[in-house]
Amino acid sequence: MPEVQELNQALPLQLTASGQWRLAPGHYQGNFRISSAMVLYCEPGAVLDGSGQGTVLSIDAPDVQVHGCELRGAGHDLTAMDAAIFIQHQANVAVVANNHIVGSGFGIWADGSKDVQIHHNVIEGDDSLRSQDRGNGIHLYAVSGASVVGNRVSQTRDGIYIDTSNHNHLQNNQLTDLRYGIHYMFSNNNQVVGNLTRNTRTGYALMQSRQLTVTGNRSENDQNYGILMNYITYSTLSGNEVSRVRSGSTGDSMIQGAEGKALFIYNSVFNRIVANRFSDSALGIHLTAGSEDNEISANSFIGNRQQVKYVATRTQEWSKDGLGNYWSDYLGWDRNANGLGDVPYEPNDNIDRLVWMYPQMKLLMHSPAIELLRWVQAMFPVVKSPGVRDSFPLMAGYQQDEQNESR
Contact 208, 183 (CB under 8 A): no
What secondary structure does DSSP assign to 27-67, as a single string? Answer: EEESEEEE-S-EEEEEPTTEEEE-TTSS-SEEE-SSSEEEE
Q: Measure the CA–CA gap between 125 and 177, rounded to whole angstroms.
A: 10
Cα 268–chain centre separation: 16
Q: Measure the CA–CA gap between 297 and 103, rounded to whole angstroms.
A: 43
Per residue in 312-355, pLDDT (tens digit) is: 667 789 999 999 999 998 888 899 999 999 989 988 655 565 65
Identify the band that residue 407 occupies on the pLDDT scale cut at 50, 70 and 90: very low
Per residue in 303-323, pLDDT (tens digit) is: 998 899 886 667 789 999 999
Question: Sign of the CA dihedral 225, 299, 208, 107?
Answer: positive
247 pLDDT above the threshold of 90: no
What secondary structure does DSSP assign to 120-137, as a single string? Answer: S-EEE--TTS-GGGSPPS
∠ CA 324-325-329, nearest 5°, is 125
The total number of residues written for the chain in this structure: 407
pLDDT at 404: 40
The torsion defined by the Cα of 391, 339, 278 and 357, in degrees rounded to 10, comes to: 30
pLDDT at 397: 74
Q: Residue range 276-282: average pLDDT? A: 96
Contact 104, 136 (CB under 8 A): no
Contact 189, 164 (CB under 8 A): no
60 pLDDT above the threshold of 90: yes
Q: Which residues contact 174 (CB under 8 A, 6 or more apart)?
A: 151, 152, 153, 195, 196, 198
Contact 191, 185 (CB under 8 A): no
Contact 283, 309 (CB under 8 A): yes
361 pLDDT above the threshold of 90: no
Q: Measure the CA–CA gap between 36 and 48, rounded to whole angstroms.
A: 19
**Distance spanning both ends of the chain, measured CA to CA:** 61
Q: SS3 for 322?
A: coil
Q: Measure the CA–CA gap between 73 and 53, rounded to whole angstroms.
A: 7
φ/ψ (deg, to 5) at 370: -65, -40
Contact 365, 342 (CB under 8 A): no
Radius of gyration of the chain (CA): 25
Q: Measure the CA–CA gap between 186 and 180, rounded to whole angstroms.
A: 16
Nearest one of 199, 201, 146 to 168, comparing CA atoms: 146
Per residue in 366-377, pLDDT (tens digit) is: 567 656 665 555
Q: Residue range 27-36: average pLDDT? A: 98
201 pLDDT above the threshold of 70: yes
pLDDT at 242: 98
The torsion defined by the Cα of 38, 43, 45 and 51, in degrees rounded to 10, comes to: -10
pLDDT at 405: 40
Identify the band that residue 119 occupies on the pLDDT scale cut at 50, 70 and 90: very high
∠ CA 30-33-39, nearest 5°, is 115
Q: Measure the CA–CA gap between 154 and 124, rounded to whole angstroms.
A: 5
Contact 332, 341 (CB under 8 A): yes
